[in-house]
Amino acid sequence: MKLYKNTKTSKLFFDKFVNKVTVVTPVASEFRNNKMEYTKTSLANLLLRISKSENKSVSVTAWTKRMVNETDVKLAVALCNLLADTKSDYAIRVEGPWLGIYSNDDALIDNIVANNMVKEVSKPASSKVRDFLLANPNSIISNKYTHKYRVTVNPLKESSANFHSWAEKIPTIKLLKRTYRTEGYFYASNEKTLGMCRLFLGNKLRRVDTLYLESEI
């Protein structure tokens, strides 16, 4: 299998999972709805089409030029069976040919890595980090930080200019965008600043994550 990138999980995926593996497969779209019985049927139909094709490869759908062969599909079938049989909770996200699988089951992740073409694997740096993240979903492990809180906002739209004009005058706020008309996030240094942001933003404030060094947990 191809070499892949190892990264350290710094925050939970979907506020729930500590592990992620990204599988590279031209049939990633067949997993999109996370319904393995549907995926099994769809992959079986692809195998049938391939067996009847002259060059033993077919396009995944009528509107894509991505071609798949028997090996591609059989690997996907094995992955589908693995996910269908697992007793562990997991989530899926599809982006083009990349199939992201999220789980807290280390054995499941390792099994996927051993039997598929993998782009990236993310796991916590230690069991201590793992336990901390699972117990504190609104936390981010950082190598360094100057502002303690990451504040995520909903689209501010017409109030974006007023917010920016207010926030840029406060040195304990670190803005990352010139406008927050669409959703985004910024940083606040301390609880006092965070309280001011809550008052200003009201229900436009979506969530607050607290940053920690690994040595602080």
pLDDT of residue 12: 98
Rounded CA separation 99/82 (Å)? 14
pLDDT, mean over the chain: 94
The answer to whether 11 and 134 have CB atoms below 8 angstroms apart is: no
pLDDT of residue 60: 79
Rounded CA separation 97/24 (Å)? 6
What share of the chain has pLDDT > 70, as a percent?
96
The answer to whether 204 and 142 have CB atoms below 8 angstroms apart is: no
pLDDT of residue 54: 84
What value does the mean pLDDT take over residues 103-124? Answer: 96
pTM: 0.90
pLDDT band at 178 (very low <50, low <70, confident <90, very high): confident
- pLDDT, tens digit (0-9, with 9 covering 90-100), for 64-110: 677 899 999 999 999 999 999 999 999 999 999 999 999 999 999 99
Q: What is the 3-state secondary structure (H, E, C) of 166-192?
A: HHCCCCCEECCCCCCCCCEEEEECCHH
Q: Would the pLDDT of 63 be above 80?
A: no
Q: Would the pLDDT of 2 be above 60?
A: no
Cite the beta strand spans of 41-97 per DSSP E: 57-59, 67-69, 90-95
- pLDDT, tens digit (0-9, with 9 covering 90-100), for 23-33: 999 999 999 98
* Closest by Cα among 126, 82, 128, 87 to 105: 87
pLDDT of residue 57: 85
pLDDT of residue 215: 96
